[in-house]
Amino acid sequence: MTHSAGASPTPMAGDPADFWHSLLRPEFDRAPDFAGKFFARLRDAKLVFGGRVHCPFLRPFFLTEEDETRVRVVAETIAALGERVVVAALENRALFEQLHLRPEEERLARIPVGYARASTASRLDAFLLPDSLKFAEYNGESPAGPGYAEMLAEIFSNLPVMERFRERYEARMYGLSAKLLEALLASYTDWGGTRTAPQIVITDWREVPTWSEFEILQARFAKLGVPAVIADPRDLVFDGKVLTAHGKKIDLVYRRVLINDIVARPADCEALVQAYAANAVCVANTFRCKIPHVKAFFALLTDERNAALFSAPEQEIIRRHIPWTRVVQDTKTQHHGDTVELLAFLRKNRANLVLKPSDEYGGSGVTLGWEANESHWHAAIEKALSSKQAAWIVQERIPVRRELFPVITADNKLEFRDMLVDFAPYIFRGKVAGFLTRLSATGLANVTSGGGQVPSFRVRLRGAEAGA
């Protein structure tokens, strides 16, 4: 997730954050080992990314019912457009080429799959401000974090400070694992599966830092009555009819291994791809999810050439909530109604633009124009133009949200820091289910680049105080 701009005012006047802070400081000062016990809870709950705890912060992100509603409407619309673009691009060569998939990604995307939905689970990365809502990227490919987000919310729900906070505010957390499982089972049924409790495999490389999340989800799926095993793609076996993992016949693959890795390591993923191509197992997300997942998807949405794909209300949502985006190439294009030479425009307007690869993760390769000098910016443009492996995109700078958050320092003290807030709704089969909320002191807000995570709670004043 990228982007940076000026700080925004604290969004909720009157403010649950201020009330939380007033409760937290005496609580922290009274408890001699508040920080140590808090971190121990996180580690016991597997809330670690590699060896680092997810959350050194001591406040949730608070949103209102109105915030939730406006995010839901826009996010669900964009996810629906992603599914529509999948169908249209597979039928229309010119449209498909706007997304700049690599040949092997296209081959995988065109394998008949047995059910319609490309993205069973997806996530949009957004900045939510009082007067605006902007989305920077669509992660259409089985995004990480729902298990972590739910577990973190439960830990905060059980803090003594939350108990006192709830005397004044109603605070609702978002349960994600049950909704994720419901979405996976619905895709399995669409695919033609008939078992009420199909055997699931959660598959990714055993060395990934998010393995602990798979263990969280495995336990929660089991508690909900559906068995799951966790397996490295190298541990899968396909005999031409049946896919197995650790000796168990698999009905449903919750695919967390990325298509980038499947393409890069075909021998290691051979059993998964062969079972998928034979339609011997339901795989979610399907390989077609790569079509809206690439960042060039936002270029397709914001390019006037494609307006006929979208209704007038959808075009308005795109205009208001998706930043102007283009694939970097030597061409003329439209910029808010004006025809521009794209490369000349990029060179002149770096303070308002960001460059990034169309298909990378964790902020890799991102150049924020407002943080780059002229020579660095021009070098980044040349790198984008000369790339043989994949397309790059340029995107207009968008406003971001910043708030003060209490953080535990390296010496276990409490201090307040101004943090960028990246608010990312999870979308399961087209419906917003909850949120991943990441904090960063820099313009890159992701755990990979050193950011942290907090839970989100929807809040409102309790009865008498709400009417005061």
Question: What tens digit of pLDDT does each residue of 380-435 get?
Answer: 999 999 987 789 999 999 999 999 999 999 899 999 999 999 999 999 999 999 99
Q: How far is CA 345 from CA 19, 300, 352, 353, 382, in A?
A: 47, 19, 11, 10, 14
Q: Are residues 144 and 213 in the same domain?
A: yes
Return the pLDDT at 451: 65
Last residue of a domain, one of 358, 377, 395: 395
Whole-number pLDDT of residue 54: 85
- The answer to whether residue 43 sits within a structural domain is yes
> Residue 441 has what pLDDT?
85
Residues 140, 283: one domain? yes
**Residue with tokens 């907090």, as numbered in its chain:** 454
The answer to whether residues 41 and 182 belong to one domain is yes
Domain span at 329: 324-395
pLDDT tens digit string along 326-350? 999 999 999 999 999 999 999 999 9
Check residue 4 and give its pLDDT.
40
Closest of 123, 424, 426, 115 to residue 284, by C-alpha = 115
Return mean pLDDT, the chain.
92
Q: Which two tokens stand for residue 124?
A: 């949009």
Cis peptide before 446 (omega within 30 of 0): no
* Cis check: omega of the bond before 190, within 30 degrees of 0: no
For residues 41 and 117, state if they share a domain.
Answer: yes
391 and 427 inside one domain: no
Residue 190 lies in a domain: yes
345: CATH:
3.30.1490
User: How many domains does one find in the chain?
Assistant: 2
Residue 142 CA to residue 128 CA, distance in Å, equals 23
Same domain, 242 and 375: no
Model pLDDT for residues 347-368, shown as the tens digit of each residue = 999 999 999 999 876 667 899 9
Q: Is 405 part of any domain?
A: no
d(CA 271, CA 240): 9
Cβ within 8 Å of residue 198, ≥6 positions away: 185, 188, 226, 251, 252, 282
244 and 385 together in one domain: no
> What pLDDT is stored for residue 142 in this prediction?
87
Region 205-221: mean pLDDT is 95
pLDDT-derived band of residue 458, with 50, 70 and 90 as boundaries?
Answer: very high
177 and 30 in one domain? yes
| pLDDT per position as a tens digit, 166-199 | 999 999 999 999 999 999 999 999 999 999 999 9
* pLDDT above 90: residue 454: yes
The answer to whether residue 226 sits within a structural domain is yes
Q: What is the DSSP secondary structure assignment for residue 423, as one 8-state letter?
A: E
- Give yes or no: residues 173 and 277 share one domain: yes
* Shared domain check, 442 and 373: no
Pick from 20-24, 110-114, 225-229, 357-361: least confident: 357-361
**How does residue 8 score in pLDDT terms, banded at 50, 70 and 90?**
very low
Tell me if 280 is assigned to some domain. yes
Same domain, 241 and 350: no
Phi/psi region, residue 42 (left: phi>0; alpha: psi -120 to 50; beta: rest), is alpha
Report the percent of the chain where pLDDT is more than 70: 93
pLDDT in the model for residue 390: 81
Summarised one tens digit per residue, pLDDT across range 438-451 is 999 876 544 444 46
Domain shared by 287 and 433, yes or no: yes
Cα angle for residues 337, 343, 346 (degrees, 5° grid): 75
244 assigned to some structural domain: yes
pLDDT band at 282 (very low <50, low <70, confident <90, very high): very high
Where are the extended beta strands (E) located within 250-351? 252-255, 282-284, 325-327, 332-335, 338-341
